[in-house]
Structure 1
């Protein structure tokens, strides 16, 4: 069997759709474990802020920022835990390839929400720590740019370069 109908050209693997789904599911779970730990710890710490005496001293704007941050953390946590529940519900239903696609989408959404949670947390902490809005947004924008570079731009550039190389090899 030279190429399975669902293999991507140039994949270089000789595996069935189910084997590929199993491999991709395992990879996804490893990725989720790393992100889940971080988002759950961050979310846990964020939950405690409202119970501190200094919370009431925050400006209305900072309390609103805190609430937005909490909601972002909650949704990031839910999106990153979602694939586990998804897998549990569809387990044994012979839909693993589709489950991998949906779990991957939930994970990407969770990572995007985690990025927003981390950026809004940083904004809240730096605003509270410095009481200066002059440079804080620039620092936060710089950190957000680095996250975007590391989490999005570099991987997409690598993926695009690989696709272009594969296209050139097919023509040549």
Structure 2
């Protein structure tokens, strides 16, 4: 199905919710495209952080990591692998349901996978920051950087959710003539 074509039973009733004039299939297609764009962004972050972590192991000073830093490093490499796997799972989800007219379901599951992926990337970014501060300065600085990264991320997510609620269209009362 393409563009404005509709199957039996599809309508443009969704327009009442957000002002768009699209069928449920068109909405699912648009939502899936948006999810894929967000995956591209998280995958870029994951590749940069994962590449940095993998390169660290081959640096001469890697042997200087202490008994706290080395396990933290390995956990972060694991998080980078998990974030990559979650991004790939979204592609596998789409491939496994391609052409089966299940796009709405793919969007629901994909959205959940993406939220988990975002959380993993947030922990990864905060952990890498903490590891670098720990190694470059001291343990206290590393723990503060780790905590600050997690707090800032949680705070930003909270603000985004609150701002999103404030931006949501509110039902209007009918005008009186």
The 2-side partners of 1:72 and 1:153 are apart by 23
What are the equivalent positions in structure 2 for 1:159-170 lying under 5 Å apart?
159-162=164-167, 166=170, 169=172
2:24 aligned partner? 17
Per the TM alignment, residue 51 of structure 1 is displaced from its structure 2 partner at its CA by 2.7
CA contact (8 A) 1:36 1:81 kept: no
Structure number with bigger Rg:
2
The structure 2 residue matched to 1:76, chosen from 56, 72, 83, is 83
**Number of aligned residue pairs:** 166
The structure in which a higher percent of residues are helix is 1
| Alignment partner of 2:44 out of 31, 37, 54 | 37
Residue range with higher mean Cα deviation, 37-46 or 58-67:
37-46
User: Aligned residue for 1:149?
Assistant: 155
Q: Which runs of 5+ in 2 are unaligned?
A: 1-9
Per-residue deviation, residues 49-100 of structure 1 (Å, max 9, x unmatched): 2233322221111111001111111111111232112111211011001101
Q: TM-score, normalised by structure 1?
A: 0.84
Higher relative contact order, chain-length normalized (CA < 8 Å, sep 6+): 1
RMSD, aligned CA: 2.3
